[in-house]
């Protein structure tokens, strides 16, 4: 059965690679004739090695990334469609999200599948519906889906994506998004008493700096039951030539457990914008009534090299300086190769 699963999956990879000329030809014919349409086939393979335990795993993904802007005959904006559907295969994963069934599961994931309806001109009021990123923290502006470089939302909120509706808009001073969603995350499920209310307001002083204020409250289902989760967050970023600084901090509760999460990133990009290097310091602390604070402290050092619009090679090392009581320390090396056409 395992061999059969591998054969089916790698057959998909083989077909995608060998149909590249066909897709390229389609882009030059009928797809090119579709106005305001951008799309790409996205292939990636990621290897992960834990130097503390000697555990080796790898993950492959095949996806379609489509972006379409709809307009009226007079040139007015109707809305924007985003479809990102991916088949993801785990192989002996040591740690994996709860929406996977096991360490070697294969699953179709709709990362972002939404339509953003334009209500007012100039983008001041829109209505987004579908599966979208929860508006909270740094990840609202920086796409981390399928990438090694991550920020706090996955570990802090538990849900980076959810099904729901959101009002959003852009102004000269910045922008906003306020969302209500089902609280199920990746999968569309029924029968669970869950929900998430979230929102973020951003102030943009110039093109180099921003300041964001976020809020999150929801009832979420976890492996151990239901959690009432609340967060208030502050994030900021600025750019000095090729040096970037990003930071975020949030406070809140998971039921009666107090939580504080913080992240600081310093990154450096070359003048061609092909090579990016970064260092992240992460802290996740919790406090149970009657006990002392308990913390997980990590450092991540990573690189991303994009020689052209097709290839991306990324690497990252994440080391635990301090872990929660009863947890095992990890030091993880990861390498990812990504090809989009």
pLDDT in tens, 175-185: 999 999 999 88
Mean pLDDT score across all residues of the chain: 89
Q: How far apart are CA 84 and CA 198, in angstroms?
A: 22
Burial readout 268-279 (b: 16 or more C-beta within 10 A, e: otherwise)? ebeeeeeebebe
| Residue among 74, 79, 69 at smallest CA distance from 37 | 69
User: In this structure, are residues 209 and 239 in contact, taking their beta carbons and an 8 Å threshold?
Assistant: yes
Neighbours of 98 (CB within 10 A): 12
User: In this structure, are residues 162 and 189 in contact, taking their beta carbons and an 8 Å threshold?
Assistant: no
User: In this structure, are residues 247 and 261 in contact, taking their beta carbons and an 8 Å threshold?
Assistant: no
User: In this structure, are residues 31 and 37 in contact, taking their beta carbons and an 8 Å threshold?
Assistant: yes
73-77, 112-116, 252-256, range with the lowest pLDDT: 73-77
User: E strand or H helix at 177, and its extent?
Assistant: strand 174-181
pLDDT in tens, 270-286: 999 999 999 999 999 99
* pLDDT of 8 strictly over 70: no
Instruction: Kindly state the percentage of the chain with pLDDT values over 70.
Output: 90
What tokens were used for 101?
């069934």
Q: How far apart are CA 303 and CA 334, in angstroms?
A: 11
The CATH code belonging to domain 39-340 is: 2.40.160.10
User: E strand or H helix at 155, and its extent?
Assistant: helix 153-157
Q: Residue 260's pLDDT band (boundaries 50, 70, 90)? A: very high
Model pLDDT, residue 224: 76
* pLDDT of 259 strictly over 60: yes
pLDDT in tens, 32-66: 556 889 999 999 999 999 999 999 999 999 999 99
Q: How far apart are CA 195 and CA 230, in angstroms?
A: 12
User: E strand or H helix at 37, and its extent?
Assistant: strand 37-50
User: Is the overall model pTM greater than 0.75, yes or no?
Assistant: yes
Q: Residue 191's pLDDT band (boundaries 50, 70, 90)? A: low
SS3 state of residue 16: helix
């Amino acid at each position: 059965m395992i061999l059969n699963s591998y054969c089916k999956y790698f057959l998909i990879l083989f077909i995608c690679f060998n149909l590249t000329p066909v897709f390229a030809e389609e882009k030059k014919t009928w797809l090119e004739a579709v106005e305001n349409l951008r799309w790409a086939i996205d292939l990636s393979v990621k290897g992960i090695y834990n130097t503390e335990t000697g555990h080796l795993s790898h993950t492959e993904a095949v996806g379609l990334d489509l972006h379409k802007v709809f307009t009226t005959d007079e040139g007015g904006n109707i809305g924007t469609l985003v479809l990102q559907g991916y088949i993801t295969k785990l192989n002996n994963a040591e740690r994996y999200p709860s929406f996977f069934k096991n360490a070697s599961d294969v699953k179709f994931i709709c990362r972002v599948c939404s339509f953003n309806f334009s209500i007012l001109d100039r983008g001041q009021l829109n209505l987004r519906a579908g599966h979208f990123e929860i508006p909270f923290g740094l990840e609202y502006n920086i796409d981390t889906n399928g990438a090694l470089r991550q920020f706090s939302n996955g570990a802090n909120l538990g849900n980076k994506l959810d099904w729901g509706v959101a009002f959003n808009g852009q102004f000269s001073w910045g922008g906003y998004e306020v969302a209500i969603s089902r609280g199920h995350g990746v999968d569309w499920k029924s029968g669970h008493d869950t929900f998430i209310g979230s929102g973020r307001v951003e102030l943009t002083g110039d093109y180099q700096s921003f300041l964001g204020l976020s809020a999150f409250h929801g009832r979420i289902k976890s492996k151990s039951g239901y959690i009432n989760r609340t967060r208030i967050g502050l994030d900021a970023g600025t750019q000095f030539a090729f040096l970037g600084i990003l930071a975020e901090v949030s406070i809140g509760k998971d039921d009666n457990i107090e939580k504080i999460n913080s992240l600081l990133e310093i990154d450096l990009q070359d003048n061609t914008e092909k090579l990016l290097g970064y260092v992240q310091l992460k802290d996740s602390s919790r406090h149970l009534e009657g006990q002392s604070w308990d913390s997980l402290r990590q450092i991540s050092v990573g690189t991303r090299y994009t020689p052209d619009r097709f290839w991306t090679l990324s690497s990252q090392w994440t080391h635990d300086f301090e872990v929660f009581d009863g947890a095992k320390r990890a030091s993880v090396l990861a390498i990812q190769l990504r090809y989009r056409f």
